[in-house]
Structure 1
Amino acid sequence: MKVATRSNETERDWVLYCLRFAVSALFLGRGYLYLSDLAPLSAFLWNQDLLERPLEWLTGMSWESYSAHSEGFILTMQRTMGMLFLAAALPCWYVRGSRRRLVNGLVLAAGLFLFVYGLLRWSDADFRIAMLLEQSLQWGAPLLLMLYGRVRDSRWTALAALLIAATFIGHGCYALGLSVPQNHEFVNMTMRALSLGRPGALIFLHAVGVLDFLVPVLFWVPKLRLYALAYAAFWGLLTAFARIFSYWTPAEDFYGMHPWVAETIVRLPHGLIPLALLLIYLMKDSHLHKSSSGTSL
């Protein structure tokens, strides 16, 4: 029994490692992008159509006065949030147990700002549902880390599956051009990474877009669930690293690559969360197999 318990704890540690690594990388990358002024705060806070009337109603300030004096405030807010993300990257590795209130509070605060970031990206994308769905695993990763081991496994896996499904449906919408214009960045990245012409890149994106929609469907087929999660983990990590593959050129070494490296690591949860869920189901299958073997003996 002690050997079995130790084995179970070791397996769960691998899941926890995936979650911690995913959230820590996410905070580091997002913090760097915020400190590099690559964040959608200005796009939202200078959206005249959205904010002019509420601003005048709440403060009596004209839009001209606000836009002339708000730049310093926006930059300060953006850099403060960037520092918060960086500060939360290390505590992710110590999220274990309810006694660490400061650690848990810092990670939760950074996770809340990630959710706000997702809403900002959504507003910057003209409130297209595909963008909202695609952000699910990023703002949801800290929540999954905090809840792991604190709620029933069935509830945790259901939440993880829901977030994975939302992200991959969002991916699929962009790949297929559903409810959103065909994403030129995706097309150009595919052309550069695979050395394809535009027609070949579009065919490839349509194929993987269909697969993105199949992932949440196949997850509910017990015999195909592991294959769906394995594909999701592989494709999530591959699409994350596609930013580096697509924009790196040997002649320039890594000059100008720092934003794309950051964009890569903030997308690591797209592959690491499916990998964590895959490990959980592999553990369950392994334990069921051992239990049935012991019963037959």
Structure 2
Amino acid sequence: MKSKLYLLLATSTFCVFIGRAIQHLVWDAPFRTLLWDEGLLRGFVENVLGYNWFDYVTSPTTDKMINLSIDLFGVLYLLAAISVFFLNKEGILKKIGMKLQIIGALGLMFLAFLYSKEKFMQLGQLLEYSAQFSAPFLLWYVVTYKEEKFPILFAKCVIALTFICHGLYAVGFYPVPGKFVDMTISTLGVTESVAKDLLLTAGILDFIVAVGIFIPRIQKPMLAYMVLWGTLTSMARLTGHFHIDFLGNTLLQWLPAVIYRAPHALLPLIILTQINNAKDTAKVESPNFSKKLLSNIGLAN
């Protein structure tokens, strides 16, 4: 099983997992936004664990346990990334790999939740990661069906959500992240006001293409734009923070951010490829994707 569909999905999934693995094992993840939430956990910590809240949040032991949990998720993502190479083979490694895809994807959903909580539970922040946490689910599905089916409508919804939510920040529906402005200035060498105007334009285009991919007559150019823009916005994480004097540290810190955003470009490319290859759209449509997925992880009725 080494078709173009499989290779693109496998590459997309591997990039998400390996990028997040490096982030968790080398840098950090926002676990403390949950585990240091006084309003949520103080009662549990003091009444169940028997610790004073101040002692809990200032304890070196607590900090070590949080760091350990981050590392464990990093190991999970690393194993999930490695397992991608065994999904096209039969045997126990494939079975383990398929389980790791689901568990890893659930971990990515949890990570998206943490980032959303960090932004006061903004729904746009949660769904902006749709393409990343959906990539392993899509790979699992394609391997399960031996590439006979691809849930193109689901995939379109996923990438549309990613672009729409990115656009919500770019146009200022949510506060425009300072990092967006800084990356634009650093990459293009423009002023702050020009950077904000460019972000506004990009955000509007995000909305247009997110709708356009559902219109058959214009879906191909819309998807092609997504491939290009997904690539450029991913690369901006590196170009916007590039320091030649600290090249090693720059690459170690920001290259993973480029890598785990691979689905932002590869997923629309996969959809475009499937549309071009399909003689009959029905062959790539699969309305039962969610039901099939939930039944295999034991959540369907």
TM over 0.5: yes
Q: For residue 136 of structure 1, what is the aligned residue in structure 2? A: 130
Task: Say yes or no: does 1:145 pair with 2:139.
Answer: yes
Change (3 A) 1:98 1:42: farther
Counterpart code for 1:184: G
Change (3 A) 1:149 1:92: closer
Q: For residue 95 of structure 1, what is the aligned residue in structure 2? A: 87
TM-score (norm 2): 0.85
Q: In structure 2, what is the Cα distance between the partners aligned to 1:88 and 1:139?
A: 12
TM-score (norm 1): 0.86
Q: For residue 292 of structure 1, what is the aligned residue in structure 2? A: none
Of 4, 29, 48, the match for 1:14: 4
Change (3 A) 1:276 1:58: farther
Deviation at 1:190, TM superposition (A): 0.4
Deviation at 1:96, TM superposition (A): 3.8
Q: For residue 172 of structure 2, what is the aligned residue in structure 1? A: 177
Q: For residue 41 of structure 2, what is the aligned residue in structure 1? A: 51
User: 1:90-239 to 2 correspondence within 5 Å?
Assistant: 90-96=82-88, 100-148=94-142, 150=144, 156-178=151-173, 180-239=174-233
Q: For residue 42 of structure 1, what is the aligned residue in structure 2? A: 32
Q: In structure 2, what is the Cα distance between the partners aligned to 1:85 and 1:193?
A: 30
Change (3 A) 1:117 1:241: same
Task: Say yes or no: does 1:80 pair with 2:72.
Answer: yes
Q: For residue 291 of structure 1, what is the aligned residue in structure 2? A: none
> Conserved in 2, the CA contact under 8 Å of 1:248 and 1:254?
no
Change (3 A) 1:155 1:102: closer
Change (3 A) 1:155 1:58: farther
Q: CA RMSD in A?
A: 2.1
> Conserved in 2, the CA contact under 8 Å of 1:133 and 1:170?
yes
Higher alpha-carbon Rg? 1
> Conserved in 1, the CA contact under 8 Å of 2:101 and 2:137?
no
SS at match of 2:121: coil
Give the gaps of 5 or more residues in structure 2. Answer: 281-301
Of 20, 23, 27, the match for 2:13: 23
Deviation track 1:173-221 (CA, whole Å, cap 9, x = no partner) reads: 111111x211110011001111110111111101110011112211121
> Conserved in 1, the CA contact under 8 Å of 2:226 and 2:265?
yes
Q: In structure 2, what is the Cα distance between the partners aligned to 1:28 and 1:207?
A: 32
Deviation at 1:47, TM superposition (A): 1.9
Q: In structure 1, what is the Cα distance between the partners aligned to 2:11 and 2:53?
A: 43
Q: Which moved more, 1:113-122 or 1:52-61?
A: 52-61
Q: In structure 2, what is the Cα distance between the partners aligned to 1:95 and 1:83?
A: 19
Q: In structure 2, what is the Cα distance between the partners aligned to 1:159 and 1:239?
A: 23
Task: Say yes or no: does 1:280 pair with 2:274.
Answer: yes
Number of residue pairs aligned between Structure 1 and Structure 2: 275
Deviation at 1:239, TM superposition (A): 0.5
Deviation track 1:259-289 (CA, whole Å, cap 9, x = no partner) reads: 11111111111111111111100111xx36x
Deviation at 1:98, TM superposition (A): 8.0
Deviation at 1:246, TM superposition (A): 1.3
% same residue: 28
User: 1:59-78 to 2 correspondence within 5 Å?
Assistant: 59-67=49-57, 68=59, 69-78=61-70
SS at match of 1:247: coil
Deviation at 1:55, TM superposition (A): 3.7
Q: Which moved more, 1:49-58 or 1:133-142?
A: 49-58
